[in-house]
């Protein structure tokens, strides 16, 4: 079963949002165009409580984008984003959600960050996405969304470790750090993750 996983296409990651990814609004139409080509479409949604440990605002002595150690893990401190029940946490208004069969929320535990749509950053708790996909008979997973170098990247590698065949739709994704993402793409290719354009689906 050919499956599309749309990662975190939420208002706070769109230009004008609190943690905007450059040109992120450009991917919405691409994602809408490719959805009918898939047997199954699911999405992930960043869904943070206001007191989330990853927010710089909850560390008075620290600054946005500073890194600290929490429970022996490196944590980037982000601007407040995708706070539960706020407009910033909502999906982009032009994103077509009619074909979506499920939404998997992540980052709900205030004590640990969760970039991947499958697990938190410590791999302590599963979102249930891997089990859901296996029960559905999904085999090929196609990933798109925001940000390509963070939440999409971590989702792809967790899926790869779970044994799924993984594809990254480059023109339906945008990175926060364009230069740093070049190295991540090399890593994808090395592991056999295919980087494709939406026209190739």
Q: How far from 120 is each of 56, 58, 126, CA to CA, in Å?
A: 19, 19, 7
Residues marked active site are found at 8, 106, 151
Helices (H), the chain: 27-34, 129-136, 153-161, 178-190
Q: What is the DSSP string of 113-170?
A: ---SSSB-TTS-SB-SHHHHHHHHT--EEEEEEE-IIIIIHHHHHHHHHTT-EEEEEE
From CA 158, how far away is CA 169, in angstroms rounded?
17
From CA 195, how far away is CA 173, in angstroms rounded?
11
């Amino acid at each position: 079963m050919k499956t599309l996983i749309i990662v975190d296409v939420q208002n706070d990651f769109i230009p004008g949002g609190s943690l905007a990814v450059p040109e992120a609004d450009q991917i919405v139409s691409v994602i809408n165009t490719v959805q009918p080509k898939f047997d199954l479409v699911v999405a992930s949604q960043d869904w943070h409580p206001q007191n989330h440990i990853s927010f710089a605002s909850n560390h008075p002595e620290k600054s946005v984008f500073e890194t600290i150690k929490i429970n022996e893990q490196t944590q980037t401190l982000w601007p407040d984003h995708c706070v539960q029940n706020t407009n910033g946490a909502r999906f982009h208004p032009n994103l077509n959600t009619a074909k979506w069969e499920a939404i998997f929320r992540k980052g709900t535990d205030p004590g640990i960050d969760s970039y991947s749509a499958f697990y938190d950053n410590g791999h302590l708790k599963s979102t249930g996405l891997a089990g859901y996909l296996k029960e559905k008979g999904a085999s090929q997973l196609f990933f798109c969304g925001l940000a390509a170098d963070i939440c999409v990247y971590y989702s792809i590698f967790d899926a790869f470790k779970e044994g799924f065949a993984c594809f990254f739709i480059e023109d339906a994704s945008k990175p926060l750090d364009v230069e740093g993402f070049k190295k991540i793409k090399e890593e994808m290719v090395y592991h056999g993750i295919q980087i494709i354009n939406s026209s190739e689906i």
